[in-house]
Structure 1
C-alpha cells in the first residue's frame, strides 16, 4: 500500500514545528519526519536522510514548501528528479504547481524545471564571461590580499632569520596560510595577488 509521508523542517531548535506537522497530517501524511535546527542547504540532515530511506516507489512526499527540503532552486530540482527516478511523487501544500501526483502537475513541474535550469546555466555563463573579461583586463577575482609590499618584505626578512610561518603570521597579524602564499609567490618572482600558475 502506498503511503503519504510528510517532511517538516525548522531552522532553529527554538522554533516550533507543530504547525507544519499538523498541516501535513491534515493533508493526509501518515508519518511525518521533522528536522530541527538544520539548514536546508545541508543534504544529510538526519531526519531528511531517514525520510528518503523510508520512501518507497508509489509513495508521495508531502511538504509545506519546497524550501523545507532544499536551500536552492537547483537543489530542489535535483531532489525532485531523484525522487521521480525512484518512483516517488512530491506535493507542496503552498505551491500548487508542485504536485507530481497528477499528469498536469508533472507537466507543469517539467516546464518550471526547464526554465529554472536555464536560469542557473545563464547565471553560470554570465559569471564565467565576467571572470574571463576581468582576467583579460589584468584583474583577478577573490578578496584583496592583506599582504602589502611592506608586510611581504618583513616576512621575507623574518623567514631569512629562521622564524617559523606561525611566528611571522603572529607578528604580522595574518593567517599562517596567507604568509605561506605570499612567500611562495615572492620566491617565484610573482607580485602578491598575481595568479599562481
Structure 2
C-alpha cells in the first residue's frame, strides 16, 4: 500500500509551518516531518528522519520544492536518490516536479519549474542575509558617499544659501546624495531658501 509522507520546513520566522502541515495532512500524508527555521538548511534533522522513514512504494509530499531543498543541486540529488529507492516525489504546488508512473510531464514545464525554484531559493537566501545583517546592526546595501565630514560641509554651505548643485560639485557627489543627506536636517533659522 502506498503511503504519503509529508515534509516541510519553516522558511522564515514570520511563516509558521501550521498551514503547510494542514495542507500536507489534507493531501493524505500519514505523517508530517517539520524542521523549524533555526535548522541549518544543510543539516536538517527532521528531513534526515523523514528520508530514513520512507520505504519503497511511498510518496514524499512537500508544499513546494523550496521546502525540501536549499539548492537546486540538492533538490535534484534528493529526488534522484528517492527514485532509486523506489520512492516517488510530489509537490503540491509544482506538478512538473512530481515523479511516478502517473506523472508524465513536458520537459519545458520541468525547466520552467527548475528556474522558478532557483529564483525562490535566491530570494530566501537574500532575505535571510538581510535579516542577519540587520540583526548585526549593519545596514544592507551600498554605503553612502556622504561621510560625516561631507555632511557637515554640505550643512555649512547650505546655511550660506548655496544651491544643492553647487554643494554637490564642491563635494564631488551627486545632487541627489546631497539632498538625501540634508533632508532630515533642520535648516539654519536665518536661511530662507
Taking the aligned partners of 1:14 and 1:46, their CA distance within structure 2 comes to 21
Assess if the C-alpha contact under 8 Å between 1:5 and 1:30 holds in 2: yes
Instruction: Tell me if 1:84 matches 2:83.
Output: yes
Secondary structure of the structure 2 residue equivalent to 1:75: helix
Deviation of residue 74 (structure 1)? 1.3
Secondary structure of 1:20 counterpart? helix
Residue in structure 1 matched with residue 31 of structure 2 by the alignment: 31
Residues 104 and 6 of structure 1: CA distance in aligned 2, closer, same or farther (over 3 Å): closer
Q: Secondary structure in 1 aligned to 2:6?
A: strand
Per-residue deviation, residues 95-146 of structure 1 (Å, max 9, x unmatched): 01121133443x5479837x96xxxxxxxxxxxxxxxxxxxxxxxxxxxxxx
Partner of 1:4: 4
CA distance in 1 between counterparts of 2:106 and 2:56 reads 21
Question: Which residue number in structure 2 is paired with residue 59 of structure 1?
Answer: 58
Aligned to 1:49: 48
Give, in angstroms, the shift of residue 33 of structure 1: 0.4
SS where residue 51 of structure 1 aligns? Answer: helix
Tell me if structure 2 keeps the 8 A contact 1:8–1:33.
yes
The 1:94–1:58 alpha-carbon spacing in structure 2 relative to 1, beyond 3 Å, is same
Q: In structure 2, do the counterparts of structure 1 residues 73 and 108 end up closer, same or farther at CA, with 3 Å as the change threshold?
A: farther
Where does residue 129 of structure 2 map in the other structure?
Answer: none
Whole-Å Cα distance in 1 between the matches of residues 17 and 41 of structure 2? 18
Q: What are structure 1's unaligned runs of at least 5 residues?
A: 117-197
Q: 1:25 to 1:40 in 2, by over 3 A?
A: farther
Structure 1 position 12, deviation (Å): 4.7
Unpaired runs of 5+ residues, structure 2, are: 115-193
Q: CA RMSD in A?
A: 2.9
The number of equivalent residue pairs is 115
- Distance in 2, matches of 1:102 and 1:27, equals 19
User: Compared with structure 1, are the counterparts of its residues 87 and 109 closer, same or farther at alpha carbon in structure 2 (3 Å cutoff)?
Assistant: farther
8 Å contact from structure 1 (residues 40, 70) kept in 2: no
1:22 is aligned to 22
SS of the residue corresponding to residue 95 of structure 2 reads coil
Question: Given the superposition, is the C-alpha separation of residues 14 and 93 from structure 1 closer, same or farther in structure 2, using an over 3 Å criterion?
Answer: same
* Preserved contact between residue 62 and residue 91 of structure 2 (Cα < 8 Å): yes
In the aligned structure 2, how far is the partner of 1:39 from the partner of 1:75? Answer: 16
CA contact (8 A) 2:96 2:109 kept: no
Deviation, structure 1 residue 41: 3.7
Preserved contact between residue 2 and residue 58 of structure 1 (Cα < 8 Å): yes
